[in-house]
Amino acid sequence: MNTITQSSSVRQRATKELAYLSGFLFLGLVVMPFIVFQVGQAVFGAYGGAGYGDFFGTLSAKVRSGNSVAWFLILSPYLGWQCLRLLVFGWRMAGLQNGSS
């Protein structure tokens, strides 16, 4: 394989991973906070602040300040996707090892 083909392949993979990260960051920044707020309302009752806007403002302030729990919430869709990919990779590798012996 020549270096041009390798470079193109690496660029394609990097672009694909960046697209995954972008999509899952959108989920983590927009969809997940809404779901967390709704589930919190249903389970624990009314939020102590002034509704969803206040909840999202508090969450975004924690993200900006570097709070690890807030970052984990935001990155959890992407981290879940990566764990799933790693699990599938492990199953495939285990299947290849068992099939060749």
Residue pLDDT, tens place only, 85-95: 999 999 998 88
pLDDT at 31 over 60: yes
Q: Are 78 and 21 in contact (CB under 8 A)?
A: yes
Directed axis angle between helix 32-44 and helix 68-100, to 10°?
A: 110
pLDDT recorded at residue 99? 64
Domain count, the chain: 1
Q: Please, what sign has the CA dihedral across residues 67, 68, 69, 75? A: positive
Euclidean distance between the first and final Cα of the chain, in Å? 30
Residue pLDDT, tens place only, 47-80: 887 889 999 999 999 999 999 999 999 999 999 9
Q: What is the dihedral of CA 40, 46, 51, 56, to 10 degrees?
A: -30
Q: Which alpha helices (H) appear in 1-101, and where do they start and end?
A: 3-26, 32-44, 52-65, 68-100
What span, in angstroms and rounded, lies between the C-alpha atoms of 36 and 63? Answer: 15
Residue span of the structural domain in which 73 resides: 3-100
